[in-house]
Amino acid sequence: MSIQEHYRSRAKELLSSGTVKMVIGYGTGSTPDRRRPVFITSPDETDRLVLDKACRTNLSGYLLREGLLSDQKQVAVFFNLDGVRSLNILAAESQLETAQVLVLGFRIEGEEVTALQGERAADFKSLIAAAKEQRKSQPPHELQEKLEAMTPKERFSFWEAEFSRCIKCYACRQACPMCWCRRCVVDNNQPQWVNTSSHTLGNLEWNLLRAFHLAGRCVECGNCSRACPADIPLHLLNRRMSDEVQGSFDHYPGMDEAQEPVLASFRKDDPETFIL
Amino acid sequence: MATLLYSASLNDCIARWREDGLMVFGPSTAGGVSGFREVEDAGSLDLDLVLTRSTLKELFFPRTEPMLGYRIGKQQIETEEFIPPEGRRIIFGVRPCDAAGMQVDDALFDWDYHDAYWFRRRDSSVIFSIACTHSDAFCMCTSLGLAPDSTKGSDVLLRPLAAGNGWKVEALTERGENALSSISSLLKEGGDAPAPLTDVPVKFDLEACRRWLADPENFESRFWKEISERCIGCGSCTYLCPTCHCFDIQDEGDTYQGVRRKNWDSCSFSLFTMHTSGHNPRATQSARWRQRIMHKFNYFSLKFNVNSCTGCGRCTRECPVDMGVTETLQAISTLQR
């Protein structure tokens, strides 16, 4: 049985038995190469579910839809490992209870899509631990290497040029599983902390602020870069922050729901080299 | 016999216009993203694109622009009004759907208030559109009563030649004629065959959709929630739309000096309709999506007798969750039996 068939029948089972009230997964899109999020509530509709290598979007943000989890019922969601990590962070940040979320886990490697064993966030702990070790030895992105080799001035010019295309549509924020603030700081206008204009300063302020806000929280799912209509390589900023956090504090976000947020916790042996 | 412009002469045309003091803009790609930018030669133009990622409207209605500045000194208060530059522009290689979007916004910006920012740029620009010989799965101009060779909003229409070596040229306005007269020595007369236009299938019945939208019974329909369930509430569909024109006025600065700016705004955002009291009349994303569709195909068409959608398909093409006008109107067509 293909992984898609396997999960279609599992979804049917879960909905028929009333174990979950909804399955959030992927369905066909408007062109053959596109997939789109689908919300299945009836066992008769599980044939709409698709699972293949085009299923890239991290769906965890949908769990925070107003009222979805307020009735204590369970929801099943298709997640790759990044998705499970974002689920753990959302739980650690008191946004949901993992007990209400059933994971339909999968992994995409090249052309191959395989099922992950387990259905609760905690079941994936050893896989996440392995991913943490693997990340340490992961070669840097080609562009990232080029950026590291630049002088600070050259690097600033690079990002200035990239951000100049930002149209402030906030697709990066809306697509980000970690951007769960009910009211984003840029939407506060008394006072207006961040310029809403998409001029050089406003774009720098917005994109850098978001990168810092995600330090130690980003699971590198890539939702932001995929959503960006201006093709700004936002994931590179987040990746750089993740490298820093992992290097300095051995922190890999989303290990489990008990993990403390790195920027909101303190250990006596934390390095202080960055304090001037 | 018809007037022809051969591709080989395009570079000289651009040079001629620039010598005459005009700025030349056209589709070009920077940082992997296509849009309308100023060009110095024909080599910088990307004329084979089905459509640019960003739209023509950016040249008339920028993402952000200053309106006025103030400076409060000990003795006096200085103010400065920013008027858009008057420089004459040729915009070459526009697609007919983007050009048609100009007319939509002309109606809006000349409604209860004559928007000087928009019209100053409109009056100093000449739009050279190129009829489409290619389209993609998202194009839907024909569903909106337009076509790959629509002339709305254009000053000159170019029809590609079958040999792929130029265009048949047709002036549509006086501005267009003037722009052509300055390059008349570079134009030729000939009977070259035009290339066949692309075939864009009709995807929905617009009139049936409009009837459904106009029926007050359907305002609270469950349909709106179902069709927009996956919407994440970003503004990419509105900002990449050739006709979406909403803006916000923002003051940047402090007590002593600052600038008042006109910035793009989007009905997709919760903040767009948020009241000071905290009440939001469009509290949900589905109410916001309904507004966008109603505005385009019901309210705007009733008021100005034109649809504020020209079928470019960018909303679907660029949507992070694969939504868009096409799917919604196709679904409404089906509801209409």
* B252-267: b (≥16 Cβ within 10 Å) or e: beeeeebbbbbbbbbb
* pLDDT for A13 beyond 80: yes
Residue B260, pLDDT > 70, answer yes
* Token digits of residue A153: 């001035």
Task: Decide if A159 is inside a domain.
Answer: yes
**Distances in Å between the alpha carbon of B3 and those of A17, A261, B180?**
72, 69, 10
The label of the residue with tokens 């340490």 reads A136
**Quick one: A213 and A115 in the same domain?**
no
Cβ contact B31–A30 (<8 Å): no
> What ipTM does this complex have?
0.94
Encode pLDDT of A228-261 as tens digits: 999 999 999 999 999 989 988 999 999 999 999 8
Calculate mean pLDDT across residues B48-59.
96
Question: How far, in Å, are A114, B8, B247 from residue B193 at the CA level?
Answer: 55, 17, 45
pLDDT tens for B15-30 read 999 999 999 999 999 8
Task: State residue A139's pLDDT score.
Answer: 81
Task: Tell whether A182 and A68 lie within a shared domain.
Answer: no
Q: Is the pLDDT of residue B109 over 80?
A: yes
Chain A: give the shortest CA distance to residue B312, in Å: 15
Is there a domain that residue A273 lies in? no
User: Closest by alpha carbon to A66, among A187, A180, A185?
Assistant: A180
Number of H helices, E strands in chain A: 9, 5
In a shared domain, residues A174 and A149: yes
Quick one: tokens of A121?
């966030």
Residues A156 and A128 in one domain: no
Q: Output the average pLDDT for chain A.
A: 94
Residues A72, A19 within the same domain: yes
**What would the two tokens of residue B62 be?**
């920028």
Using a CB-CB cut-off of 8 Å, the residues of chain A touching B270 are 187
List CB contacts (< 8 A) between A173 and chain B: 234
Q: Is A272 a member of any domain? A: no
Residues A150 and A95 in one domain: no
pLDDT exceeds cutoff 90 at B243: yes
Residue A222 pLDDT: 95
User: Does the structure show a pLDDT above 90 at B86?
Assistant: no
What is the token pair recorded at A144? Answer: 């990232």
**Dihedral angle over CA of A73, A78, A84, A89, nearest 10:** -50
Residue A129 belongs to some domain of the structure: yes
B128 touches B154 (CB < 8 A):
yes
A13 and A128 assigned to the same domain: yes
Rounded to whole angstroms, the Cα distance separating B215 from B298 reads 10
Q: How far apart are CA A128 and CA A133, in angstroms?
A: 9
**What's the CA gap between B32 and B190, in Å, rounded?**
37
The fraction of chain B above a pLDDT of 70, given in percent, is: 99
Chain B interface test: which of A50, A162, A169 (most B C-beta within 10 Å): A169
Cα separations in angstroms, B107 against A87, A233, B45, B101, B245: 48, 38, 30, 10, 11
Q: What is the DSSP code (8-state) at residue A95?
A: S
Model confidence at A276: pLDDT above 70: no
Round to whole Å and give the CA distance between A63 and B248.
Answer: 31
CA A176: distance to chain centroid? 6
The Cα of B54 is separated from the nearest Cα of chain A by a number of Å equal to 9
Contact A30 B322 (CB under 8 A): yes
CA distances from B248 to A259, B67, B148 (A): 41, 12, 33
Q: Does B36 touch chain A (CB under 8 A)?
A: no
Q: Looking at the structure, do residues A26 and A107 belong to the same domain, yes or no?
A: yes
Q: Is residue A269 part of a domain?
A: no
- Residue A276 falls inside a structural domain: no
Q: Is A275's pLDDT higher than 80? A: no
Of the candidates B169, B207, B292, B184, the residue with the CA atom closest to the CA atom of residue B241: B292
Judgement on whether residues A73 and A96 belong to the same structural domain of the protein: yes
pLDDT of A126 over the 70 cut: yes
**pLDDT tier at A271 (50, 70, 90 boundaries)?**
confident
SS3 (DSSP) at A236? helix
* DSSP symbol at B152: T
Q: What is the mean predicted confidence (pLDDT) over B234-256?
A: 95
User: What's the 3-state SS for B215-284?
Assistant: CHHHCCCCHHHHHCCCCCCCCHHHHCCCCCCCEEEEEEECCCEEEEEEEECCCCCHHHCCCCCCCCCCCC
Among candidates A117, A33, A98, A27, which has minimal Cα distance to A60? A98
pLDDT, residue A41, reads: 97
Q: Do A229 and B239 touch (CB under 8 A)?
A: yes
- Total number of domains constituting chain A: 2
| A274 domain-assigned | no
d(CA A151, CA B318) in angstroms, rounded, equals: 34
Q: Which of A24, A167, A206 is the best substitution to test chain B (most B C-beta atoms within 10 A)?
A: A167
The overall average pLDDT reported for chain B is 96
A245 and A178 in a single domain? The answer is yes
Whether A178 and A85 map to the same domain: the answer is: no
Strand pairing report for A101-109 and A74-79:
parallel
pLDDT at residue B193 tops 90: yes
| Residues from chain B contacting residue A170 (CB–CB below 8 Å) | 234-235, 269
pLDDT band at residue B285, thresholds of 50, 70 and 90?
very high
Q: Choose among B236, B245, B202, B244: nearest CA to B323.
A: B236
**Alpha-helix runs per DSSP H in B33-87:** none
- Nearest neighbour of A195 by CB, restricted to B53, B252, B323: B252
Q: Are A196 and B263 in contact (CB under 8 A)?
A: yes
Structural domain boundaries, residue A17: 3-134
pLDDT at A142: 83
- Calculate the CA B28 to chain-centre distance: 16
Residue A141 has pLDDT above 90, yes or no: no
Cα angle vertex A275, ends A269, A276, to 5°?
145
What pLDDT score was predicted for residue B337?
A: 55
CA distance B169 to B172: 10
Q: Return the pLDDT at A25.
A: 98
pLDDT digit string (tens) for A101-113?
999 999 999 999 9
Q: Looking at A106, A134, A162, which one is the last position of a domain?
A: A134
> A162 is written with which tokens?
């990239």
Q: Which amino acid is residue A145, in one-letter code? A: E
Give the separation between CA B237 and CA B31, rounded to whole angstroms.
21
Last residue of a domain, one of A134, A159, A182: A134
Does A227 contact B138 at a Cβ distance shorter than 8 Å? no
The CA radius of gyration of chain B, in Å to the nearest whole number, is 22
- Tens-place pLDDT, residues B124-135: 999 999 999 999
User: Are B318 and A197 a contacting pair at CB < 8 A?
Assistant: no
Tell whether A230 lies on the interface with B, counting CB pairs under 8 A. yes
User: Three-class SS of residue A103?
Assistant: strand
A88 has pLDDT over 80: yes
A62 chain-B contacts, CB cut-off 8 A: 230
